[in-house]
Amino acid sequence: MASKVTYNQAGYVGSSMSRRAAAAYEDGEMPKSRWTKKAMISAIAEWCDDNDRALSDEITSMRRDAILERFFKVTSWHHTGRFAAATDFYGIDESALLAATRRIDERDLESRAAEREAERARREAEREAEGADEDETWKALGQAGKYIAARNPAFTHKSSIIMTMAAQEALHPERFVTRVAKSGRVMLRDKASGVEVAIEQAYTYKARR
C-alpha cells in the first residue's frame, strides 16, 4: 500500500496535489475527470484564436467524450491525493486541431484583429476598474486583511494580500469548505480547483479568482 502524504511535505500543496500538479493546472492541463465539455470548448476556442484557426460547429456539437478522445492527449503526469497517486494530465492535441480546423481568411483576420483590439481595450478598462475597486475590496476585508498582512509580512501590496486563499475565503465563503483533519489541522478547500491547504498556509497560498 502506498504511503500517505504528510501535510505540506516537500513538493506538495497541502495534501491535495504536488506543486507541479498545481502548476500544470495553471498551464491549462487537468486530469481527464476535470475536463468538462464547456472547459474543452473554451480551451479549443482560445487555441484557435491564438493560431488564427476557425472553430467549426462540427467540433462544438461533438459529445464530451468524443472531443476528449480526438482533440486532447496526455501531456504530463503528476502526484495527486493523499497517497500521491500518479495521475495523467490532459492538454490540447495541437496536431489533431490543426488537421480538423482551417486557417481563417484575410477578411476574417481583419475582423479578428478588430475584435482583439476591442478585447484589449475592454481588459484595460477592467484593469483600471479593478484598481479603483481595490480599495473597496480592502475595506470589505476589514480586520481580516490586516490579520493576513500580519501573518505574511512578505506581502506588502494590497493586491497580493487580496489574492491569498484566506482573503478569498473571507470575501467569498461560499466558494470554500473547511474540515478538521485527523491530525487536528483545520483544512480549507477551494471547491472549484479542489486545492486544499491548512488554514495557516492559506495566508500565503495564492487562490484562483
Chain segment 136-173, per-residue pLDDT in tens: 787 887 887 777 777 766 655 777 788 888 888 888 88
Q: How many Å apart are CA 7 and CA 125, to the nearest integer?
A: 41
Cell (9 digits) for 110: 481583419
Q: How many Å apart are CA 160 and CA 157, to the nearest integer?
A: 5
Q: What is the DSSP string of 83-129?
A: TTEEEEEEEE-HHHHHHHSEE--HHHHHHHHHHHHHHHHHHHHHHHH
Instruction: Note whether 14 and 80 are within 8 A (CB).
Output: no
Average pLDDT over residues 113-118: 80
Cα R_g (the chain), whole angstroms = 21
Residues 86 and 144 in one domain: no
- For position 48, what pLDDT does the model report? 92
| 198 pLDDT above the threshold of 80 | yes
Residues 72 and 144 in one domain: no
DSSP three-state, residue 80:
strand
Last residue of a domain, one of 104, 123, 142: 104
| 12 pLDDT above the threshold of 70 | no
Residues 91 and 8 in one domain: yes
Residues 137 and 201 in one domain: yes
Neighbours of 54 (CB within 10 A): 13
Last residue of a domain, one of 87, 104, 121: 104
Instruction: Note whether 187 and 179 are within 8 A (CB).
Output: yes
pTM, full prediction? 0.51
Residue 70: inside a domain: yes
Residues 83 and 32 in one domain: yes
Residue 109: inside a domain: no
Domain residues for 176? 133-209
- For position 29, what pLDDT does the model report? 93
Residue-wise burial string across 121-151, b where 16 or more C-beta atoms lie within 10 A, e elsewhere: eeeeeeeeeeeeeeeebbeebeeebebbbee
Last residue of a domain, one of 67, 86, 104: 104
- 50-93 pLDDT, tens digit each: 898 988 999 999 999 999 999 999 999 988 877 677 899 999 99
98 vs 26, more confident: 98
Instruction: Note whether 146 and 189 are within 8 A (CB).
Output: no
- For position 68, what pLDDT does the model report? 97
Residues 76 and 175 in one domain: no
| 36 pLDDT above the threshold of 70 | yes
Residues 100 and 143 in one domain: no
Count of domains observed in the chain: 2
Instruction: Note whether 189 and 179 are within 8 A (CB).
Output: yes
Residues 100 and 137 in one domain: no
Cell (9 digits) for 88: 495523467
